[in-house]
Amino acid sequence: MSKRYSASIIELEGESVLRLRDEQTDCTVDIAPGIGMNVIRYARGGRDIILPPLSLAQLRRWPTRFGIPVLSPPGRVSGGRFQYAGRSYQLPLTHGPHHVHGEIGRLPWELKRHGASAAEGAFAEAVYAYDRDPQRYAYFPHKLECRLTYSVRDGDLYLQGSAFNGGECTVPLALGFHPYFVFSGGLKDVVLYAPPCAEWPRDGEGQAAGLPVPTGLTQRLEEGLPLGEMNSDLAFLRLESKESVWVIEDRPAARRLLLRTDPLFSNMVLFKPSWANAISLEPHSCVPDACNLPWDGEETGARGLDSGSARLFSWSIQVNER
């Protein structure tokens, strides 16, 4: 095991939690495999980068309000119903008359390995497979396996993932993450810089109501938008480049956070929670409710994974102290 990096399992409120450490940057990442493989803590130098829950009991009650939840499918599915490749699906209703954010972000994942080395940093890998979960397999009958590897290197957080279809028919693939970036100062002193993007217009229920277009918000994001001046608590954005870099300039903390996402994540949802001094930048593979929208998958991001195929994806959070 590396002297600089370490990976261990600790007990926290009766839950086995993975702790990844980088001693040189005083970086700690805690991950709860039993609660959706959620990154419940990411801190450097004693300062939180990601919003932690006050307790694991709080996280179990609100599994998508803290840390970095995994979403599949991301966002709302109207009525919990959708069709893809000639097949109909009915998901459980988890938010009033709708299904929201999927369930794998609150369920146990199978820990495969964890460790540390000078080359790999501190790392942990876990798997969720629908066919090994009878309750979820009953409404999503696919041999879809999701594999996530989190690693800490030089105080930065990296995610390498894959989705593998071991079944005989095409699987609808919809994936997202929900990191909550937390700040000690006011949002008026935090500036967000976005790559070129367009905004999805939304209807009265908050769903996409037309194809994305440039707006005043997207222009301001490219120039740098103080988060205190963001007029809405929610925005759906489609990225114009295959890979993207989002920059959060946290002026009171004298640091910059860089969120890098790969081409799978063609959409980004911006969300300002009411319960914390934070902003969530949510990389999504598709716009919410993509399969129920009247546009093709090239526009919405709705896509399938063929039998025997795998899709790799990645993102990272890098911290530049000043």
Is the pLDDT at 107 greater than 90? The verdict is: yes
Q: What is the pLDDT of residue 272?
A: 96
Residue type, 1: M
Q: Which residue has the higher pLDDT, 185 or 20?
A: 20
Output b/e per residue, 256-268; b: 16+ Cβ within 10 A. bbebbbbebbbbb
Helix (H) or strand (E) holding 300: helix 297-300
- pLDDT at position 313 is 98
pLDDT at 185 over 90: no
Q: In the beta sheet, which residues pair with residue 317? A: 157, 259
What is the Cα–Cα distance from 75 to 200, expressed in whole angstroms?
A: 14
- Average pLDDT of span 132-159: 98
List of residues 6+ apart from 129 with CB closer than 8 A: 110, 143, 144, 145, 146
**Residue for token digits 């100062």?**
185
Question: What 3-state class would DSSP assign to 80?
Answer: helix
Whether 256 and 250 have beta carbons less than 8 Å apart is answered as yes
Query: What is the full DSSP assignment across 111-178?
Result: EEEEEEETTTEEEEEEEEEGGG-HHHHHHS---EEEEEEEEEETTEEEEEEEEEE-SSS-EEE--EE-
- Read off the pLDDT of residues 42-58 as tens digits, 9 standing for 90 and up: 999 999 999 999 999 99
Contact 144, 163 (CB under 8 A): yes
Confidence of residue 2 (pLDDT cuts 50, 70, 90): low
Residue type, 268: M
Q: Locate tokens 């988890």: which residue?
A: 94
Q: What is the pLDDT of residue 115?
A: 98
Residue 142 has pLDDT above 90, yes or no: yes
pLDDT of 295 reads 97
Q: Is residue 224 scored above 90 in pLDDT?
A: yes
pLDDT digits (tens, 9 = 90+) for 272-292: 999 999 999 999 999 999 999
Looking at the DSSP assignment, which residues form a beta bridge with residue 256?
249, 320
What's the whole-number average pLDDT of the chain?
A: 96
- Which one-letter amino acid corresponds to residue 83? Q
pLDDT at 161: 98
Peptide bond into 288 cis (omega under 30): no
- 26 residue type, one letter: D
In a 3-state reduction of DSSP, which class is residue 209?
Answer: coil
Q: Does the pLDDT at position 1 exceed 60?
A: no
> What six digits make up the tokens of 188?
């008026």
In the prediction, which pLDDT does 162 show? 98
